[in-house]
Amino acid sequence: MQISNIPFGTTDWSNLEKTEHSGISGIAYWRTQQFGEIRVRMVEYSAGYLADHLCSKGHILLCLAGELTTELEDGRVFTLKAGHSYQVADHAEAHRSSTQHGATLFIVD
């Protein structure tokens, strides 16, 4: 990834508007910043959230709070707790997120 043409700046995530994204169950709330082709998000998953699709977009994801379960298309399952991260390239391994008790994530894609 090349990061260019982005001047220094700060973000107060609490001031960004939340958008709501329903899963099969539960809701994801996104606060999003776009920097050219780079999307940066603070995402809050409600308790009981299950994504409605397998995602093939690449991400760098950091779990800030709670616990996130990520299931890969091949059946492997990974659990992230606060302070854990994962990274995956575009079209590398499709994945789907869920959480029993809720989670807050910082995602760059």
List, in order of start, the domains of the chain with CATH numbers.
39-108 (2.60.120.10)
The pTM assigned to this predicted structure is: 0.91
Alpha-carbon distance of 88 to 69, in angstroms, equals: 15
Alpha-carbon distance of 56 to 88, in angstroms, equals: 9
**Average pLDDT taken over every residue of the chain:** 95
Span 23-36, pLDDT tens digits: 999 999 999 999 98
- Percent over 70 (pLDDT), the chain: 99
* pLDDT surpasses 70 at 1: no
> Is the distance from CB of 35 to CB of 49 less than 8 angstroms?
no
Contacts of residue 84, defined as CB under 8 A and 6 or more positions apart, other chains included, come to 62, 63
